[in-house]
Amino acid sequence: MKKILGFVLVALVIVVAGCNKDKLYTKDLTGTWHIYKYLFKNVDETNQYLAANPGYTIAFTSDGKFVEQNTSIHDTVIGGVVYQDTTYSGVNAGTWKFANKDINLLLTDSVSAFVDTAVVRVPRVRTYTIFDLTGSSVQLDTDTTQVYYAKNM
């Protein structure tokens, strides 16, 4: 009887832990985030990234949607004249979900692209490896970047 009870308790713990992980991660990811550290090929490029994208945020909702807001500053060349610090603002929206046993975060949206001399929206899926997702911080990695986010409070 003790063996059966022990087996049932272990099975119950495994089931509860497996069911709650996705809910916990979803709760932890919900909210608006900003970048506080940016590494490109293991080189700290935080200051350069934040200077070029000073208003970047990404907001995740519990129903699987996200909205990125970005203000980027670039030099623009018009007719051979350089206009420094031209500001562009943009909003990008899509859906998100966990994949690969909650190891990956998939962001699905669309981007503008030239197709036969016309600008059209084409679908895009971005895959990130999740590290250290807590209620207030997360690290999202790709093959070339490690991006550290803090939740706006």
From 48-52, 65-69, 71-75, the region with the lowest mean pLDDT: 71-75
28: containing domain: 2-151
Which is more confidently placed, 115 or 6? 115
Given a cut of 60, whether residue 62 has pLDDT beyond it is yes
**Cα dist. 30→22, 101, 114, 125 in Å?**
12, 18, 34, 19
Q: What is the pLDDT of residues 81-92, one digit of tens each?
A: 777 666 667 889
* d(C-alpha 17, C-alpha 8), whole Å: 14
Given a cut of 60, whether residue 7 has pLDDT beyond it is no
Which is more confidently placed, 23 or 60? 60
Number of domains in the chain: 1
Given a cut of 60, whether residue 2 has pLDDT beyond it is no
* d(C-alpha 22, C-alpha 27), whole Å: 9
CATH of the domain at 37: 2.40.128.280
